[in-house]
Structure 1
Amino acid sequence: MKKVLLLLAILLCGHSFSQSYKFNISGKIQSEKDKTPIEAATIHLEKVSDSTVISYTISNDKGNFSLEGKSFNKDVKLYVSFIGMDSYSKRISLTKNPSIKLGTISLKEESNVLDEVVIKSRAPITIKKDTLEFNVKSFKTKKNANVEDLLKKLPGVEVDENGKITVNGKEVNKILVNGKPFFGNDPTITTKNLSKDIIEKIQVTDTKSKSEAFSGEKGDANNKTINLTIKKENNKGWFGRVSAGGGTDKRYEAATMINRFNNNTRFSALASTNNINSPGFSFGEIQKMYGGNGGVWFGGNGSFGIGNRRFGGGQGIVTSKIAGATYADEYKKGLDVNANYIFSNSNSVNDSRQNREYTLPDRRYFSNIISSSDTNNDNHNIDAELDIEIDSTLLINVQPRFIYNNRESSNRRNEESLDENNTLTNQFTSNTISKQDNKNFENNIDITKKFGSKGAFIKASLTNQIDQTNGEDFNNSTINIFGTNPTTEIRNQKSNIDNDLNSISSRFSYRLPLISQKLFIDAKYRYSRNERKNRESTFDFNNTTQDFTDFNTTLSSDFTYNDITKTPSLGIVYTLKKSRFNLEVGQVRRTLENIDRLRPNLSLEKDFNNLRLTSSFRYRFDSKASIYFDYNLDNDAPNVIQLQPFSDVTNPSNIITGNPNLKPSQSHRLYVNFNKYNWQKRTGFFSYFGGTLNTNQIVTKTTINDQLVRNTTYDNADGGYNFWGGASYNKSIKIDSLTSVDVRMGIRLNGNRNISFLNDVENTATSNSITPRLGLAIKWNKVITIEPTYNIDFTKTTYSANSFQDQNFARHNLRIRTRTNLPKKLEWRNDIRYTFNPNVIGFNKSAWFWNATLAYSVLKDKGTITFKAYDILSQNNNAQRRAVNNYIEDSESTILQQYFMVGFSWKFNSLGKKGKIREYDFSY
């Protein structure tokens, strides 16, 4: 590492003596016809010799611009461009005096459209109303770069280690190829697998549904969509990649992706298998495999998970297999089809242990948990999207989806509780085997009809979901309670499980324009009915028959639960050139019905009527800055488990009973963000703050007896809240034509106030955390890149109960990533991480984690030989500490151990003329 830094310093020092010309070019852009200033015109500077882009900026709301930078070429050419106007160019000779004032530049109305031949803009960036467009030729990348490599070069665009993309602080949640989904809109599968060389333009807009785009509505202001436009000459042919590798400790990986593009017809297939906790392609594909159930989360160590599956360096060892295909076509004008299929298999093995310290109002006790699991999951996912545009005023969108999942798992758990004198009080051991089949079908139909040219429309949507789950569980468990009256309970049981969900939801809306394209009234009506049937039949083992024949009523259930919601609402939308405001108020009428066949006395019916309010305001100051604000008032009714006064004794050490007197909870949510990007100075600032205040929040109420057995029910409480916020600042400093430094600074805030009752004493746990971070990216030519980042997470938790001790945690994280291309065909990457957890007890407090990869290009850069080294120092661990309402937990689980792997990958394509892709070499 020291040698690399020394080499970098020598190169930088030597380069600083080169001749260069500083420049500061300023002026004003206006319309020649009416002399009004032009906002968001693109101004860029090129080398005369080879048209390489040196610098660029855009004009402000007064038409003014200032172009600053440094060039090693004396002769340069200035270009000014704006949609609908003729371009302006001027040759400039740079001198020792950096200040050049051009005065007012007038642009004429466009006159270059002749016989359907359009002269394409040379501008690196073009702003078209709410669309930001990048010209790919203006941004230089390494050879064989993918779309993700390209995005990292674009101003205001950031791509983190998980592939998550943000544009000026707004997350990208959808990527399209020529305006159509690619593997179901998943961003990372597109960015990691499509070559940069086939892309002509990148367009960034607010995310919209098909219906919103068709009706002309404004999109989601907090999420962005990227559309990749493929060059016409590269939109026909084959391309893809094949890779495989094997290593020590029987580690392996293999992946392939094949694509066939033929104008509007597109077909792609992929396959992957590995046992190194790699998802193979992207988290979006994994989410499809599990139907999105359980939610998506990201870990701080590069891992992510869907539901109970974790990938990429976290808990457990995951062996996965993936195969899938996608097809898109436009059969005729007005009829678009997109279909996807993905099969996956994963096997996850994990051993973990948790040490907990519980604090009660009058005493403390301890719990130690050791568990192991082995889970196998097969999943088939088929989804499609059909767009039928009857005419310019009527669109029908149909989206069916089918998921079949087969899951088998075995779990072992050993939990023991000790009093404050470390005397064993109770012990719980269990061995469970679970087998489950799940079938899910969902279909969504949207119909949009436009009226006139003032923005009026009618929308109708219908969604139906049928979910069937069948399975069986085997449970062999023992609970021992010690002390003056010791008891032992042994369970040997089999449960047959049948869960069915049949839901239907509809939405009708009508928009009436009061002022054309500015002021609208929205009338809406929503209806939903979810019917869930649950039948769990538990049988105890009969020693006489040697079979599970004794029906256990206590551990069985048989009920039908209906959740019916009707919501009429009225809203107003007001849109101006730079601002947008909307307000919607509705009345939620909700009915919960539960019919219990095993326990008819527990059947119930509850009606809830509540107010629902949504509002938002967005203002764009200029082409550089905007602010967004929203406030929502929402309600959530308790579920049947929380309402039904039935005691669930599945876990005899924690008995749960519902409360039929619960009220619906109410939440007030506030969110605001501000972002600004200075195109000239390459500086970006983004800040945000959000919070939720809860009333009648449903909280737990737990009683713990002398044997440390928990009895839990639910109650309502006021005063709970959570908030989140932060800010980030980034600046790109171009030292010269070869060297640049990117600076990223930020801070993240989180806080929450949780209320619970323990042994009839209310306890409020208030937890606040602050995480400052600093990152640099030092780049020299395309040869050396060094990216150090550091953050420290401070967490403080305080309790209202005097018997609870306040907690203060600190976690340090340092990461250094390097990339070196010396010689040219050899790429050496390092990923070094250091974590320090000074508060963890019983586990390693600190660890270094070092991964490295050597990649050598062969076969005219179409092939790559790689050597990977994972966890070179053998120190990888995932020990962590967390504090919740009434306990502190230290935990650790299975992680992937050190291995070394040799691999080979090969890329192929026949896109473009005669199968060749034109190479561009424009600098940025």
Structure 2
Amino acid sequence: MIFSFVTIAKGQIQTREVRGVVQDSTGRPLVGVTVRLYAKSDTMMASTNEHGRFIFNKVAASDFKLTFSLIGFQLFERHYTSNVLLPITELVTVNLKEQPHELQEIAVYGVIPVVIKQDTIQYNAKAYSVRKNALLEEMIKQMPGLQVDRNGNIDAQGQRVTRVKVNGKDFFDGDVLTATRNLPAEIVENVQIIDDYGDQANITGIKNTEPEKVLNVTIKEDKNFGTFGQVTAGGGVDANDKAHSRYIGSFSANKFKGNKQVSILGSTNNTNTSLFSFGDISGAGSRDGTDLSSMIDGGDGINSASSIGMNYRDEVAKGVSVYGGYTFTKRRNQTIGTTRLTSIYENRQINSLDEVKSLSDNIKHKLTWTVEANIDTANYLKITPTASYITNDLLSESHSAITDKRVFTDRLYKTSGTYSDPNFDIDLFYNHRFPTRGRNLSVIAKFEYYKRTRSDVANDFSTSIDSGYNNPQVGYQQFLQRVGNFSYNRSMLLGMSYMEPVTKRSYLELNYQYESNSIANARNTFDIDSVTARESLVDSLSIDYDYLFQTHQFGINYQGSLDRLKYTVGFALQPTKLDGKTPSRDVVTHINNLNFVPSARLQYAINKTSNLSLNYRGQNNQPAFTQIQPIRDVSNPQYIVVGNANLKPEFMNMVSVQYRSFNIQNGSSLFTNFSFTHIQDKVVTNRISTPNSTIQETAFLNANGYYDLRGFYHYSAPLAGKVLTLNLNGSMDYTNNLTYINNVRNVGRNMIFSQNLQVNFQIEDLLEADLRSSYTINKIRYNIPSFMDAGANTFSLGFGGKGYLPKKWIISADFSQNFNSGYSSSISANPTLLNVYIEKSFLQNDMLAIRLQGFDLFNKNTGVRREILGNSIMDMQNNRLARYFLVSLNIRLQKFPSEI
């Protein structure tokens, strides 16, 4: 049901309109439903029209009860509190349930799977059938435009979903996995993908920043009261490491009682399973058309992880709700790999073949809490403090063979480090609605304090042979150094927006925003005597450097709407200032800029199931601290880094077009995104090779000419009702990148193209299967004639299936074959991957399941990828968790009342 509350000033009493829609269980509008409104001050009655709509005019009360009655349907009633902040507030749909003796006489119509509204795509859970006791993640995999990899990451229309909400409120601080791998699919009413522009933009409608992809889960009315949870335990053997067994364990307990929700979750495993993957003991992972390797863990190395968390939500007083929680995570990663790095220079190449081992231990505590208060009909306040503390211990060892035309360097490089990062921030948002409709004032504030203490020890021993002489010259170098870093970051953001109505359908916004980012950094470098272990400070490599980046933005926007078109146009003036100083060296930086920032946003509703949007915005980016600090960093002697205190901030111009459509008649959907980004004063690298040496030095400068063009599409269509479904998606990224090579400007044109095909086959309660293929090409061309162009391709084929056998048996298999070409000769992996499991369910409602699974039966799981950075091409091949066998037990418990 969608309610809109329009506040009207009349004397000292504010009244509003209450509107809504009533449907049956299939989503069909119901005509002639008697709707009664009960409040302390008045009682009203209305009936729904042919569209299922009703309206009450001039309702004085903000708290009231609505009852809905119609012959052949069960009586439904519910209390409501009007949202005094928004002129339009969306609540859950009211679906009347049929009386049991009338069910055979009711005509059932098909459910509309997808509804498209401006910045929201809503999926109706009733349209997607999943097995009993399935988790939400399994349902999401069926939704067009959404892709889920084995780690649980969700991409929506080509963009990563970064946060999740349950009934409009953050759940476990927005952690996606916690919701999708903990909530049962059967309790879900709708799944929404929202382009979230922030609290202020959601109020004013002025959306000129980069949106965040948010997944919002609405719970069914009759499932919003209940208790559910699960326990998983499993153990097995590793075919490659007999000394270590594989294990997985998890538990979850959830109690929902209307506005009050309590959840406690915990997990531990060494099977490279993502955190909070409660009950996900499949090992087969997801089977989507985007990432065929997702059936095998995509994370490099062998991982072990433990976690525990608590989430709480309640309405503690009238109009005041609180929600938040605490999470603790502990991770260990061990990675062994080979990296081939080719650095291209005019008339020469430096090639490095590295055998790398690394170990990291990470611990994180995080506490988040939110207080939301509808103070009265005109005032709203939201406060969110967050505190976290992270510690990390790192060990790394690499053996490198580095060559160019005449010099060969054999190198052993070891590093160890430890750091801690306490962080605290608080977000505040306040909104005031004036009696005049559309007049509005909102204020935002954000304060953050971030501190890092880090200590690293580097031990480098290298032997170089220069064959450019009649008698080859041999040189030895040993480097032992400790670097201590202490830094803190204090940032502040203050913003204000004032809205004034111009006409009934247009508004003028005046806004101001101030942002300050202050960084202090102390870096001390010590040489260590390899014999006595005594340390001596190196003044030339130590520094105490502070800098302050400030922006003011004064803007004006005009927003209007026609029948199907909603538009916003505006501009802002943005003066920026960057100040830096190093007292010990008399280094002072002072840079001022003034940017003119136009913005525009158009949204056109083609019809009820398709829309088109166009966005333009500008944005400043400050240089990173490692780029701006005026010091030579020689902690890695082969790759020296020099900062530039005179760097200017970057300015980005971004244009994007988005088209979304769903065809009700044939069930097909099409989602497309196209974007163009141009960056002025782009911070780029200047790579300098040392003559007669394999040493490379990196400096930074500003340059113009960078742009990036990206495109994405996803098309889905049923081929035979719900039995066969076709999914096509593809992406393209073309980057005109800039670097300098030995002070000479170089343009690298990099194109990454990917095309994916997937056909799903499903016979409910009998068989699920899919065929899939994927092709990706990564090419780069340079404008310097002597540079070699480079390209790498990956082609994948796969099949996945799950059969439901009599007597509650399930058998599943996943197969994938990857073909990689164009990589370095030292990087060779075309893995053939196969996972299988067999499962047996027991007891009432299949609450107990025992599973035997084999993971990567061919023992071929290997990670291969390519990265292109400036004039360097890096091909990497790292170990991943390979063949193991696991027996696991899963128990699910849930209790929901049949009626609210």
Rounded Cα–Cα distance in structure 1 between residues aligned with 2:186 and 2:290: 32
How has the CA–CA distance of structure 1 residues 148 and 188 changed in structure 2, closer, same or farther, with 3 Å as cutoff? same
How far off is 1:655 after superposition?
Answer: 2.6
How has the CA–CA distance of structure 1 residues 83 and 486 changed in structure 2, closer, same or farther, with 3 Å as cutoff? farther
* 1:120 has 2:120 as partner: no
Rounded Cα–Cα distance in structure 1 between residues aligned with 2:218 and 2:32: 21
* 1:143 has 2:143 as partner: no
How has the CA–CA distance of structure 1 residues 654 and 150 changed in structure 2, closer, same or farther, with 3 Å as cutoff? closer
Q: For 2:816, which of 826, 833, 845 is the aligned residue?
A: 833
Q: For 1:349, which of 329, 334, 345 is the aligned residue?
A: 334
The one-letter amino acid of 1:765's match is: G
Contact kept in structure 2, 1:83 and 1:128, CA below 8 Å: no
Q: Alpha-carbon deviations, 1:437-462, whole Å to 9, x = none?
A: 21100011111111125222111111
Moved more, 663-672 or 496-505: 663-672
Partner of 1:706: 692
How far off is 1:323 after superposition?
Answer: 0.6
Which SS does the other structure have where 1:803 is aligned? coil
How has the CA–CA distance of structure 1 residues 722 and 154 changed in structure 2, closer, same or farther, with 3 Å as cutoff? closer
Partner of 1:530: 517
Partner of 1:278: 273
Contact kept in structure 1, 2:151 and 2:273, CA below 8 Å: no
Contact kept in structure 2, 1:336 and 1:388, CA below 8 Å: yes
Rounded Cα–Cα distance in structure 2 between residues aligned with 1:155 and 1:360: 46
Moved more, 396-405 or 489-498: 489-498
How far off is 1:368 after superposition?
Answer: 1.4
Q: How does 1:757-772 map to 2 (within 5 A)?
A: 757-772=740-755
Structure 2: state its 5+ residue gaps. Answer: 1-19, 36-48, 56-66, 70-74, 79-93, 98-108, 239-244, 281-288
Q: Alpha-carbon deviations, 1:535-582, whole Å to 9, x = none?
A: 1222223579x4544111133221222112211111122233422211
How far off is 1:900 after superposition?
Answer: 0.4
Which SS does the other structure have where 2:882 is aligned? coil
Which SS does the other structure have where 2:137 is aligned? helix
How far off is 1:626 after superposition?
Answer: 0.7
Structure 1: state its 5+ residue gaps. Answer: 1-39, 45-50, 54-78, 88-104, 286-297, 305-310, 919-924
How has the CA–CA distance of structure 1 residues 303 and 428 changed in structure 2, closer, same or farther, with 3 Å as cutoff? farther
How has the CA–CA distance of structure 1 residues 168 and 912 changed in structure 2, closer, same or farther, with 3 Å as cutoff? farther
Partner of 1:238: 227
Moved more, 578-587 or 229-238: 229-238
Rounded Cα–Cα distance in structure 1 between residues aligned with 2:893 and 2:808: 18
Partner of 2:284: none
Which SS does the other structure have where 1:142 is aligned? coil
* 1:496 has 2:479 as partner: no
Which SS does the other structure have where 1:804 is aligned? coil
Rounded Cα–Cα distance in structure 1 between residues aligned with 2:632 and 2:160: 44
Contact kept in structure 1, 2:459 and 2:480, CA below 8 Å: yes
Partner of 2:595: 610
Rounded Cα–Cα distance in structure 2 between residues aligned with 1:164 and 1:143: 23
How far off is 1:862 after superposition?
Answer: 0.3
Contact kept in structure 2, 1:328 and 1:338, CA below 8 Å: yes
How far off is 1:235 after superposition?
Answer: 3.4
Partner of 2:414: 431
Contact kept in structure 2, 1:236 and 1:261, CA below 8 Å: yes
Q: Alpha-carbon deviations, 1:213-256, whole Å to 9, x = none?
A: 56677899976655544445443442100001101121111111
Partner of 1:778: 761
Contact kept in structure 2, 1:399 and 1:445, CA below 8 Å: yes
Partner of 2:465: 482
Rounded Cα–Cα distance in structure 2 between residues aligned with 1:138 and 1:883: 43
Partner of 2:799: 816
How has the CA–CA distance of structure 1 residues 299 and 878 changed in structure 2, closer, same or farther, with 3 Å as cutoff? farther
Contact kept in structure 2, 1:583 and 1:615, CA below 8 Å: yes
Contact kept in structure 1, 2:157 and 2:714, CA below 8 Å: no
Partner of 1:66: none
Partner of 1:790: 773
* 1:583 has 2:569 as partner: yes
The one-letter amino acid of 1:394's match is: N
Rounded Cα–Cα distance in structure 2 between residues aligned with 1:202 and 1:84: 29
Q: For 1:81, which of 29, 34, 44 is the aligned residue?
A: 29
Rounded Cα–Cα distance in structure 2 between residues aligned with 1:132 and 1:701: 44
Rounded Cα–Cα distance in structure 1 between residues aligned with 2:746 and 2:123: 54
Moved more, 403-412 or 758-767: 758-767
How far off is 1:277 after superposition?
Answer: 0.9
Aligned length: 800
Percent of paired sites with the same residue: 23
Contact kept in structure 2, 1:264 and 1:330, CA below 8 Å: yes
* 1:440 has 2:419 as partner: no
Partner of 1:539: 526
TM-score (norm 2): 0.82
Contact kept in structure 2, 1:740 and 1:780, CA below 8 Å: yes
TM-score (norm 1): 0.80
Partner of 1:675: 660
The one-letter amino acid of 1:779's match is: Q
Q: Alpha-carbon deviations, 1:62-114, whole Å to 9, x = none?
A: xxxxxxxxxxxxxxxxx952799899xxxxxxxxxxxxxxxxx9668659946
How has the CA–CA distance of structure 1 residues 389 and 83 changed in structure 2, closer, same or farther, with 3 Å as cutoff? farther
The one-letter amino acid of 1:846's match is: N
Which SS does the other structure have where 2:413 is aligned? strand
* 1:266 has 2:289 as partner: no
Q: How does 1:183-582 map to 2 (within 5 A)?
A: 183-200=172-189, 207=196, 209-211=198-200, 227-249=216-238, 250-281=245-276, 300=291, 312-420=297-405, 424-483=407-466, 487-516=475-504, 518-542=505-529, 546-582=532-568
Partner of 1:842: 826
How has the CA–CA distance of structure 1 residues 496 and 221 changed in structure 2, closer, same or farther, with 3 Å as cutoff? closer
Partner of 2:632: 647
How has the CA–CA distance of structure 1 residues 358 and 113 changed in structure 2, closer, same or farther, with 3 Å as cutoff? closer
Partner of 2:728: 745
How far off is 1:318 after superposition?
Answer: 0.9
Partner of 1:96: none
Contact kept in structure 1, 2:461 and 2:478, CA below 8 Å: yes
Q: Alpha-carbon deviations, 1:456-495, whole Å to 9, x = none?
A: 2111111111112223222222344432665443232333
Rounded Cα–Cα distance in structure 2 between residues aligned with 1:175 and 1:380: 20
The one-letter amino acid of 1:450's match is: R
How far off is 1:42 after superposition?
Answer: 11
Superposition CA RMSD, Å: 3.4
How far off is 1:394 after superposition?
Answer: 0.6
Contact kept in structure 2, 1:563 and 1:591, CA below 8 Å: yes
Which SS does the other structure have where 1:694 is aligned? strand
Contact kept in structure 2, 1:86 and 1:109, CA below 8 Å: no
Rounded Cα–Cα distance in structure 2 between residues aligned with 1:638 and 1:734: 54
Moved more, 659-668 or 176-185: 659-668
How far off is 1:276 after superposition?
Answer: 1.1
Q: For 2:674, which of 671, 689, 695 is the aligned residue?
A: 689
Which SS does the other structure have where 2:822 is aligned? coil
